[in-house]
A and B are shown apart, each in its own frame.
Chain A
Amino acid sequence: MTQHILIVDDSKVSRVIIQRCLEMIVSAESTYTEAANGKEALAELNDHDFDIVIADINMPEMDGKSLLKWIRASDKLKNIPVVFVTSTDNPAQVEELKTLGANAVLAKPITAAILEPVMERILAQ
C-alpha cells in the first residue's frame, strides 16, 4: 500500500536519513513531503492529505510538541499517526509525548530496523 508521508525536521540530513529508512520499509510508490518545522508542517497538513507524520521535537519556529498539540486539537487532523524521531528522548519525555497523543517516540540515530516494527504496527491500525 502506498503512503503519503510528511517528514518534519529542521535538519536536511536528518530528513534524508529518515526517508532512506522509510524507503526500505514502505511501498516504493510511497511519496514524501518535507517540512523544516512545525509551522511548515501544519501548512502542508492543511493543504494535503497524509497517512503519517514523522517529526523531530527540537525545531525552530514551532517545535514538535506544539505541532502534536495542534494536530490532536484539529478535527481534520486529529487521527493522523505521529511518530517522533528525536535526540531528546528519555522515559519521562516519552511518557509526556504519549500522553499528548504521540503514537511512538524513537531515538536518533534512527535505523530501518528500529522504524520498521513501529511503522508496521501503526499502519496496520
Chain B
Amino acid sequence: MTANKGKNVPEKQTSIIPNIQAYRNIIVQVIQSSLEEIGFMEILPVQEQSPYDESIDRYRADILIEDPHAGEIQLIMPRTVLEIIAENVYTMEKQELSDETLNDIISEMINIIAGSLMRLWTPPSQVFHLGLPSVGQEAFLQVDISKDSLEFDMEGSPFWLVMRGEVFMEPPAGN
C-alpha cells in the first residue's frame, strides 16, 4: 500500500518534490558524464521504473543542499552496482568489500553527482554549499515517492536518483 494513493491525500502534498522528469535529459547527461569520466561502466537511463524487488541488497546515500536554497539528493545503488564501481576504482574482489567501503563509495558518488547538478542549478556568481553525505537503509522505493526518482542502468543493474526541494523547482541556471 502506497502512502498517497488515498482519496484524502491532496495532490499538493507532494508538490515540494519537483517533477524531475521535466529535466530528465539534463540530469541523465550529468550522471553519465560524472560516473563515466572516472572510468566506470556505461550508464544508461531507464525509461520505465523496474518493479520493486525486495531481494535486492541496496545502499542509500543522502546529501543536503544547504545553500542557496534547501534541497536534498538521494542515491540508491544495489550492492552489485557498488561492486562494479569498487572493482574499477580499487581493483578489489567482491569478497574483499566491506560495508564500510561500499558506503564510502556511494557517499563519494553522491558527492560528485550533487556537485555536478548544483553547478547547473546555481548561477556562476553564487556559491553553493552541500552538507556531508550520510548513508542509511533504503526504503523509499516501496512508497509512492518513487515516481519522482530517475532510474539508471549500469551493467544490467538498476540504480536510482531522487532530487527534492525548492532548489530544483526552477529550471537549471544554465551554467
Tell me the A residues contacting B by CB distance below 8 Å. 10-14, 16-17, 58-60, 86-93, 96, 107-111
Which residue of chain A lies nearest to B113 when distances are taken between CB atoms in the complex? A87
Chain A interface secondary structure, helix, strand, loop or mixed?
loop
Given A87-B116, A109-B112, is A12 in contact with B104 using a C-beta cutoff of 8 Å?
yes
Whether a CB of chain A sits under 8 angstroms from the CB of B119 is yes
Whether a CB of chain A sits under 8 angstroms from the CB of B52 is no
Question: Which residues of the other chain, A, contact B122 by a CB distance below 8 angstroms?
Answer: 90
Per-residue A-contact encoding for B98-114, CB less than 8 Å = 1, 0 else: 00010011011001101
Whether a CB of chain A sits under 8 angstroms from the CB of B129 is yes
Chain B: interface residue total (CB-CB under 8 A):
28
Q: Report the Cα distance A92→B108, complex, angstroms.
A: 23
Contact assessment for B127 and A17 in the assembled complex, using a CB-CB cutoff below 8 Å? no
Number of contacts between A and B (CB, 8 Å)? 69
> Distance in Å from the Cβ of B31 to the closest Cβ of chain A?
12
Contact assessment for A86 and B89 in the assembled complex, using a CB-CB cutoff below 8 Å? no
Question: Which residues of the other chain, A, contact B114 by a CB distance below 8 angstroms?
Answer: 87
B 107-161 contacts with A by CB, 8 A: 107-108, 111-112, 114-116, 118-119, 122, 124-130, 132
Contact assessment for B90 and A92 in the assembled complex, using a CB-CB cutoff below 8 Å? no
Contact assessment for B111 and A11 in the assembled complex, using a CB-CB cutoff below 8 Å? yes
Contact assessment for B115 and A86 in the assembled complex, using a CB-CB cutoff below 8 Å? yes
Per-residue A-contact encoding for B28-58, CB less than 8 Å = 1, 0 else: 0000001101100000000000000000000
